[in-house]
Amino acid sequence: MYKNFFAGQWIDGSDAMDNINPSDTSDCIGQFAMASKLQTEQAIDAAFDAFPQWAKSPLQQRSEMLDKIGDEILSRKQELGEMLAREEGKTLLEGIGEVVRAGQIFKFFGAQVVRQGGENFDSIRPEVDVAVTRSPVGVVGLILPWNFPIAIPAWKIAPALAYGNCVVFKPSELVPALAHALTEIISRSGIPAGVFNLVMGRGDVVGSCIANSPKVHAISFTGSITTGKRVASAAVARMAKIQLEMGGKNPLVVLDDADLDTAVDCAVQGAFYSTGQRCTASSRLIVTSGIHDRFVKALSTRLLQLKTDHALKKGTDIGPVIDQRQLDHDTRYIQIGIDEGATLECGGEQVFRDTEGFYLPPVLFTNTHNDMRINREEIFGPVASVICVRDYDEALSIANDTTFGLSAGIVTNSLKFSSDFKRNVESGIVAVNLPTAGVDYHVPFGGTKSSSYGSREQGEYAKEFYTSVKTSYTLA
C-alpha cells in the first residue's frame, strides 16, 4: 500500500485504488491510498501552517534541496523511466526522456533560487526611491494530468518551492506510482514538514477540496478544458490566483517546398509519439496540394512500419493508450470521422498483442475539412487528419480557425513563409521544421485562446505565477 504524504508523515487513505499497467491489465503496479476530504483539508492545513517559516527559509538551503532532488531523479532515470512506461504506457525511451527532463527542471530551479532579484526605479516624486520585489504566493494547489507523470509535476513543484511556496500536489489517479516516487525523493531532501504534501485521490473529492479551500492561495492546473473551467470558477469565486494549461488542436502546416523527410518526421513525432496523448500533439496536418499526395503516401508508409505494442518491449514505437475509457473515447471519434465522410488512410481498429492492453495503432484520416468534429475537438489519442489546402494563405487561415492556440508548426524551406507563420499563427509555441510537441525546459510554455489561462509555465517566466510583486516607496 503506497501512502499519501502530508505534514511530514506517510498516511493511509480512506480508500485504495489499483494502479493498472495499460500495456498489460494483469499487471497491478500497486495499491495507492485515496485521500478523503478531511485528509485533504489536513494536508492543506499543514501547508498553510508551514508557509510563514518556509517563505523565510534561506535561499542556499532551498537551492541545495532542489539540486539534490534533481540529482537523484537523474541518477535513477532507468528505474523511474521503466516505472513511468509501465504505469503510463509511453515507451521506455520516452519514459527515460521524461524522467531526465524532470531532473533537469529541478536542477534549473535549484539554480534559479539564487537568481531572484528585484528592480529599482527612480520615483516621479523627488527624494523617493521605488523598489519592486517578489514574494511567495502562499499555498499552491497543483492538480495534474496523467500524460506526463513526472515532468509536469516537476515543472510546477520545482518553481513553487524555489520561490518559497508550500505545495499540495494532487496527481491524476491513473499515475500514482511516479507521484509517489517523486514525493519519496522530495521527502528525503531535508524539506521541512508541511512544505510539500501529496494527496492522491479523486477529482471530485481531493481536487474539488483544493479548488475550494480558502487556504489555497493559487492553483496551477493541467488537464481538460471541462475540468479546467470547473477549477477556474471555484478559484475565481474566492479570488485565488490561477494558471490553466488545457487542450490543443495543433496545426502542422506542410508547404509544397518542404523537405518531405522532415515533414514526415515532424508528423510522426508530433502526432503519434507518446501515443498522441499530448496537448502539444499535431492533430491537424494542413498540407498544400502540390505535396499532398507524396506526403500522404510517405506518411502512411511510415505509420504502417511503426510497432504498437507493450511499452517496455524492445522495438515498440507506440505504447498503448492510457485506459479503456480513453480507448472508447478515441474509437468514438474514429467513428465520428468516418460518419463525417473522412477517409481512413490507416489504422482505425484496436489491435491485440501477447499481453492484454489498450492498443490502438496510428490512425490517419485524409479528405477531411476543418469544420469536421475530428478537426475541431481534441481527441487526445494517436489520431491525426490531413487537410488539403491551395496555398500558404489558406493554410494559415485554417491553422488559426480553431478555439485552441497552444502549439503550431510549419515545414518549409521558405524564409518568407516561416517568418510570416511565426508572426501570424495564433499560438503560444511555434515550431519551424520541428515537431509541435517536445519542448525545452528553460523557456516559457503555454498557449493562447482556450488552450491556456494565466501566466506562462517553465523557465524564468514561471515566477510570474509563483510570486506576487510588491512595490515599495521610501523617502530617502
Residues near ligand UN1 (CB under 6 A): 145, 147-148, 152, 222, 245, 278-280, 437-439
Q: By C-beta, is 226 or 419 nearer to ligand UN1?
A: 226
CA 119, distance to chain mean position in Å, is 32
Nearest residue to 170 (alpha-carbon basis) of 136, 138, 137, 204 = 204
Element (H, E) at 437: none
Contact 445, 455 (CB under 8 A): no
Nearest CA to 70 out of 91, 42, 99 is that of 99
Q: How far is the CB of 464 from ligand UN1 (least distance, A)?
A: 17
Beta bridge partners of 387: 286, 368
Catalytic site includes residue 166: no
Q: How far is the CB of 17 from ligand UN1 (least distance, A)?
A: 22
What is the H or E stretch that residue 234 is in? helix 225-237
* Cβ closest to ligand UN1, residue 153 vs residue 361: 153
- Quick one: 271 or 437, whose CB is closer to ligand UN1? 437
CB closer to ligand UN1, 211 vs 279: 279
Q: Which of 166, 266, 279, 346 is catalytic?
A: 279
What's the rounded Cα separation, in Å, for the pair 298 and 289?
A: 15
Between CA 116 and CA 161 the distance in angstroms is: 13
Instruction: Provide the minimum distance between the beta carbon of 91 and ligand UN1 in the complex, in angstroms, as a whole number.
Output: 15
Q: Considering beta carbons, is residue 189 or 451 the nearer one to ligand UN1?
A: 451
**Residue 457 appears among annotated catalytic residues:** no
The nearest distance, CB 251 to ligand UN1, in angstroms, is: 15
Amino acid (1-letter code) at residue 353: R
Question: Which residue out of 245, 378, 426, 457 is catalytically annotated?
Answer: 245
Whichever of 317 and 378 has its CB closer to ligand UN1, that residue is 378
Cα dihedral sign, 456-462-467-470: negative
Q: How many residues does the chain have?
A: 476
Give whole-number Cα distances, 107 to 116, 130, 353, in Å.
15, 33, 40
Q: How far is CA 455 from the centre of its chain?
A: 15
CB of 181 to ligand UN1, least distance (A): 20
CB of 200 to ligand UN1, least distance (A): 19
Strand partners, 411: 254
Question: What residues act catalytically?
Answer: 245, 279
